[in-house]
Amino acid sequence: MPIRTTTQQRGPGFATFLRVAIALQTTAILFQAVTAGLLLSSRHGEVLHSAGARGMYAATMLYVLAAVLLWRPGGGSARPILYATGFLVLASAQVILGVAHVPSVHVPLGVLMFGLSLLQLGVVTAGRRVRADAAV
């Protein structure tokens, strides 16, 4: 009997939900970078950046939810939950630093978060392609 991964046990829907959650988070962080630029050049930038912060935080919580739903019933690896929780901690620190107006840490942390989110999106997407190629 072949060993089945958590994705195969739960079906492709939960893995797709995880990929969508990570993609949404990455897009929200990119939106934050754009609105940070607008914050410097427009009077509407602060409103957009503030609204984007709420959206980014919600997307990060959705990522945690997707990771838990993929892991819990299937009994697979808890590693995606650790990554998602790490992003939630970084997002919380980002919000605190933004409210405290500490751009010297807020901006580099945002760049780090975007890079890590993009990297995670690439890993999850590449993993899907590797499994699809192995099935052929």
Convert the pLDDT of each residue in 124-133 to its tens digit: 888 765 554 4
Question: How many structural domains does the chain have?
Answer: 1
Would you say residue 1 lies in a domain?
Answer: no
- Please give the Cα distance from 60 to 9 (Å, whole number): 25
Would you say residue 3 lies in a domain?
Answer: no
Convert the pLDDT of each residue in 95-123 to its tens digit: 999 999 999 999 999 999 999 999 999 99
Would you say residue 114 lies in a domain?
Answer: yes
Can you give the residue range of the structural domain that contains 72?
Answer: 8-135
Tell me what pLDDT residue 82 has: 94
pLDDT band per the 50, 70, 90 thresholds, residue 72: confident
Tell me what pLDDT residue 130 has: 54
Convert the pLDDT of each residue in 12-47 to its tens digit: 677 888 999 999 999 999 999 999 999 889 888 899
DSSP string, 58-96: HHHHHHHHHHHHHHTTTT--SHHHHHHHHHHHHHHHHHH
Would you say residue 2 lies in a domain?
Answer: no
